[in-house]
Chains A and B, each alone.
Chain A
Amino acid sequence: MKAADLPIYYNICEILEHNLEHRGDKIALFSENGSFTFREVSEQVNRVGNALIRSGVQFGECVAILCPDRPEWVSVFFATAKIGGVALGLNTLLKTDEYDYILKDARVKILVVHDSLKALVEPIIKKHNTLIKVIIITDNKSMKCTTFTDWIGGEKSELDSATTHREDFCSLHYSSGTTGVPKGVLHMHKDYPLIAQLSGVNLFGITENDRTFSVAKLFFVYGIGGNLIFPWYVGASCVLYAGPPRQAAAVLKAITTFKPTVFVSVPTIYSAILSLPNFYKRYDIRSLRMCISAGEPLPLQTWNTWRDTTEIEILDTIGCTETYHTFMANRPGEVRPGSSGKPIRGYDVRLVDDEGKDVQAGVVGNLMVRGESTALFYLHQSEKTRHSFRGEWLFTGDQYLQDKDGYYWHKGRVDDMLKVGGLWVSPIEIEEVLSGHDSVADCAVVGHYDNAGLLKPKAFVCLRNGVEPSDELFEQLVKLCAKTLDAHKRPRWLEFNNDLPRTSTGKLQRFKLREQ
């Protein structure tokens, strides 16, 4: 499938609405907040769309959603796209200053926020003069604000789609950067059916008989792709899970309750589930037929134990925000455990050296990828755009090796970024926190593998002259990180060093620290 196969004027609401004619009364979405048919979802989308228009949202303007995975998230997303706007699913794990940056960068016009998360944005809302309305999703009827229920209450359940070109932008996604400033990535309407066909249908073989379930949240492209776009593109159902993914017992319970057939998850959760003795006897996971992993390399031991326990092979894949979803994967029946598999149809990859020349099989090179779903640029970041978007090729920042059988093996990152629990972590952000302590002269953070084979941050700290390492200082630094950083960003290990390895020009040699 090519983008040119789509109608020139195309809107991603088609992915939802094509189901209305033959399966309008089928459950499209299961959740703890209720289950809804395709028709019910469509009507809700139309009500939200009418409310957005009434609120003054124009073609091309941005509507942001800060909400756990609930039905409202889905209706705001599709409604925004349907009226020609740009939907922005905000990561619920960010800090207030990061929301501040994004609201300004994206010129958000309407913010729909769940009651449980509104404290994160309340201090900054008045700073943004482009923001004309904040809608609160809440069950508290006495709250003095515009509630989601009231906002859409009187709206009609019919709405015509805006005439959107297949190459109009419809969604905006923010990805962590090395300097801590998030990078805005815009995707077009065409990208959605493309990834649904290339990954959802061609690669994973999802059919209308499937029911997907994801621990990766909808604000991640991995989550919305695998657990909303792929299933609805073929008329399958999805299960939304609003709880924290780190609670593996709740994940297992949701599988037992909603009986999904496709499990979209990350290595940390697979490992956590496996650590619970007899988990397959405590919970009924027999509904699963396919398990997908992405976000960080899957440890070989985890893959083997999962297969031996469940008789299901985890399909380890790699994708990124820029390509929207998977571009390389292990295929059912052809899994090479520990590898990222091979490029999928619709995408080409190259491994190049630092001069841009292709390297031979067996040699580590920088991974480049091209495919029609790849974004064009980073919003308002031309320098980073020039570095990453090189003609039709995307410089991913990942380093890979191709073996003689054509499988690709992850060998690290060129930019020192870490993937921890499927989430990007910038060592620089951690180093800035540690450097904020009066006793710290220098520090560096690198990735280090734990006993389960999963990457975690490890910090090396050099103290100022006259300051001696002590348990008290150690505790101060650890608590500083706990106070400032999200749990997945906090160093798992912290060591005092006399100095850090540097080149003659002063550049930090992180590879030497990784070997320690």
Chain B
Amino acid sequence: MDIRNVIQSQLKRVVAEHSPMPFPENIEDDDELDLFGLDSLAFMELLIGVEKELGYIPRTILEGDLYPETFGELISAYDA
């Protein structure tokens, strides 16, 4: 399963539910997640949604070492 596609579709779902911000047609790696204004609850829903499809939450995020600021950083956390 393509990690990028999974994360992108989950992010799109969470943004639709928690933010008025339209999801861009082409999201870039350096697009900042903060743009969507997701709070702690929405970010957690994103992690859970991805976990349901990929089966895990990256240790760096679970351990609190990484708080992804951009879409690319989020992808990298799962790619590592």
When each residue 222-256 of chain A gets 1 if its CB lies under 8 Å from chain B and 0 otherwise, what string results?
00000000000000000000011111111111100
Contact present for B40 and A245 (CB under 8 Å): yes
Minimum CB–CB distance for A447 against chain B, Å: 15
Contact present for A249 and B22 (CB under 8 Å): no
When each residue 279-316 of chain A gets 1 if its CB lies under 8 Å from chain B and 0 otherwise, what string results?
00010000000000000000000000000000000000
Nearest residue (CB) in A for B22 is A475
Residues of A within 8 A of B67 (CB): 243-244, 247, 250
Kindly state the separation between the CA atoms of A247 and B65 in the bound complex, as whole angstroms: 10
Residues of A within 8 A of B22 (CB): 471, 474-475, 478
Residues of A within 8 A of B57 (CB): 249
Contact present for A492 and B40 (CB under 8 Å): no
B43 close to A (CB within 8 Å)? yes
Contact present for A254 and B40 (CB under 8 Å): no
Chain B interface residue number, banded: 20 to 34
Contact present for B39 and A482 (CB under 8 Å): no
Binds B, one of A134-142, A265-273, A371-379: A265-273
Please report which residues of chain B, range 13-46, place their CB below 8 angstroms from some CB of chain A when the two chains form the complex: 18-22, 34-41, 43-45
Contact present for B39 and A494 (CB under 8 Å): no
| Partner pick for A488 among B36, B39, B48, B62, CB 8 A cutoff | B39
A479 close to B (CB within 8 Å)? yes
Known contacts A246-B40, A268-B41; is-contact A253 B20 (Cβ 8 Å): no
B47 close to A (CB within 8 Å)? yes
**Interface residues of A, CB < 8 Å — how many?**
38
Contact present for B61 and A249 (CB under 8 Å): yes
Minimum CB–CB distance for B63 against chain A, Å: 5
Minimum CB–CB distance for B24 against chain A, Å: 10
Kindly state the separation between the CA atoms of A276 and B61 in the bound complex, as whole angstroms: 13
B55 close to A (CB within 8 Å)? no
Contact present for A487 and B39 (CB under 8 Å): yes
Kindly state the separation between the CA atoms of A488 and B65 in the bound complex, as whole angstroms: 23
Known contacts A249-B62, A492-B19, A493-B20; is-contact A275 B39 (Cβ 8 Å): no
Known contacts A474-B22, A482-B21, A492-B20; is-contact A253 B44 (Cβ 8 Å): no
From A249, A250, A254, A474, residue with most partner B Cβ within 10 Å: A249
Contact present for A487 and B20 (CB under 8 Å): no
Kindly state the separation between the CA atoms of A8 and B71 in the bound complex, as whole angstroms: 57
Residues of B within 8 A of A252 (CB): 64
Residues of B within 8 A of A269 (CB): 40
Minimum CB–CB distance for B32 against chain A, Å: 9
A452 close to B (CB within 8 Å)? yes
Residues of A within 8 A of B21 (CB): 475, 478-479, 482
Kindly state the separation between the CA atoms of A421 and B19 in the bound complex, as whole angstroms: 15
Contact present for B47 and A487 (CB under 8 Å): no
A506 close to B (CB within 8 Å)? no
| Partner pick for B37 among A282, A452, A490, CB 8 A cutoff | A490
Residues of B within 8 A of A243 (CB): 64, 67
Known contacts A244-B67, A271-B41; is-contact A249 B19 (Cβ 8 Å): no
Residues of A within 8 A of B43 (CB): 246-248, 272
Kindly state the separation between the CA atoms of A246 and B41 in the bound complex, as whole angstroms: 8
| Partner pick for A249 among B34, B36, B38, B47, CB 8 A cutoff | B47
Residues of A within 8 A of B35 (CB): 482
Residues of B within 8 A of A421 (CB): 39-40
Contact present for A487 and B38 (CB under 8 Å): yes
Contact present for B39 and A282 (CB under 8 Å): no
Residues of B within 8 A of A474 (CB): 20, 22
Please report which residues of chain A, range 478-511, place their CB below 8 angstroms from some CB of chain B when the two chains form the complex: 478-479, 482, 487-488, 490-494
Residues of A within 8 A of B64 (CB): 243, 247, 249-254
| Partner pick for B20 among A271, A282, A491, CB 8 A cutoff | A491
Residues of B within 8 A of A (CB): 18-22, 34-41, 43-45, 47-48, 57, 61-65, 67
Chain A to chain B: the 9 pairs with minimum beta-carbon distance, closest first: A250-B64, A246-B40, A272-B40, A253-B64, A487-B37, A272-B41, A490-B37, A272-B44, A275-B44
Residues of A within 8 A of B (CB): 243-254, 268-269, 271-273, 275-277, 282, 421, 450, 452, 454, 471, 474-475, 478-479, 482, 487-488, 490-494
Instruction: Give 17 A-B contacts (CB < 8 Å), ordered by A residue.
Output: A243-B64, A243-B67, A246-B39, A250-B67, A252-B64, A268-B39, A271-B41, A272-B43, A272-B44, A276-B48, A282-B62, A452-B41, A478-B20, A482-B35, A487-B34, A488-B39, A492-B20
